[in-house]
Every structure is written in structure tokens, then in C-alpha cells.
Amino acid sequence: MNEQEYAGFWIRTGAAIIDTILMLIIIFPVITAIYGMEYWSKESFTKGFWDVILNYILPAIAVILFWSYKSATPGKMVTKLIIVDAKTGGKPSTGQFVGRYLGYYVSTIPLFLGIIWVGIDKRKQGWHDKLAGTVVIRSKILEPVKQETNMNITCPTCNAIYNMPSHKIPVGKKASAKCKKCGGRIVVEAKVEKTKPAAPKPELAVSKEDMRYM
């Protein structure tokens, strides 16, 4: 895990703000439709069954599902952050994700000290991360860049040469174009390149004594 870049306090705060805004977009109109605008002015802890479902149960299920399938919430996905196991660097177990979510309450109850701890800790772990055995890192998975290639085509009538982007010609199919010089028809075919099969790798004989070092 030493080669990974741990996600600091501010970028994680930005991810949390994005998640909060997305959650409010979903919950605000539903809560208002059920309880009315006076819901937001009352100071009681809970205001009924749907209040508990929408403000506690639904967010917990949504967050844990996102963690389980994407190792990140939408906010972390936007900011290119992922949650990994602190020891192996691999994907945490579902139990770790559940423990991490419950650990949020431990982190927030004492004046958000467990959240602020992210900015102090060497590995940028909050208390919920330490309880679940997880760390948040910057994702370094880069998308491959598609390079634009052109191919030269020649008019069979006047020998005029043109450049045509290769992606406009379906592989294994023919495409036609009109020569701007003589008006003749140019037929182009993108051929499929045949790749040579890879040579088989030589097999190595391994003794029982050698197995101890694998």
C-alpha cells in the first residue's frame, strides 16, 4: 500500500458534499410531500415512520450497496477515490463496509473528531476507517486514449490521393467515396489484420523442495 496516494481531508469533504446534495435531491421532495414544509422547521429527532426510512434506512442501504459494487459512493467516483482494505489494498468485504458505515456514528458523535482525524492521521484514516480496516486512496486507473489514424486512398481514374479517417471505414466492409477532382467512384475496404498466435511458454519442472519458496 506504500505506492498508493491516500486521499486527504479536503477531497473527501468534497466527495461527501456531492453525496449529500444528491441525497437531498432525492429525499427533500419526498419528505416534503409526506410531512409538508413544516417538517424542516421542527426540531424533534424523528417525526414518524417515513422519516426513519428516508433519513436513516435508505441512505444506509444506498451507501453500502455503492461501496459493495463500486468501492465508492457517487461523490468518491466523481473525485476518483476508492475504498480499499488497509492491509491488502484489495476490495473490502461486505462486513467491513457495514462496520465502516456504523463507524460513521462513532466518528461524528464526539464533535466530528473522528472525521477531522482524517487530516491528522498518517494514512488519512478516520475513526470509521480504523474500525473497519479500510483506507481511501486516489484511483490511478486511466482510460486508454484512442488514437486517430488516417489512411490514404487513391482514385483509380485520375490517381488523386485523399486522406480518410480509418474509423469511418467498418473493418471487413467496403465504403465508397466520390472523387472531388474527376467525380469518379472510389471503393475502399478496411482489411482485418491477422495476428500471429503466441508461442507456447516452456513448462518448468518444479520439485517439492522448490514449492516452499513460492
Same domain, yes or no: 80 and 123: yes
Residues 125, 165 within the same domain: no
Residue 33 lies in a domain: yes
The pLDDT > 70 percentage for the chain reads 75
Domain contains 202: no
59-94 confidence digits (pLDDT tens): 999 999 999 999 999 999 999 999 999 999 999 999
- Cα 192 from Cα 195, distance rounded (Å): 9
State how many domains the chain has. Answer: 2
Sequence-distant (6+) residues with CB within 8 A of 35 are 47, 48, 50, 51
Asked if the structure places residue 129 within a domain, the reply is yes
Q: 152 or 27, which is more confident?
A: 27
Q: What is the pTM of this model?
A: 0.64
Strand, coil or helix: 171: strand
53-91: buried (b, 16+ CB within 10 Å) or exposed (e) per residue?
A: ebeeebbeebbbebbeeebbbbbbbebebbbbbbeeeee
**200 domain residue, yes or no:** no
Is 121 inside a domain boundary?
yes
As a whole number, the mean pLDDT across the chain is 81
CA 154-156-161 angle, 5° bins: 20
Q: Can you tell me whether residue 177 is helix, strand or coil? A: strand
The mean per-residue pLDDT over the stretch 113-134 comes to 96
Domain hosting 25: range is 9-138
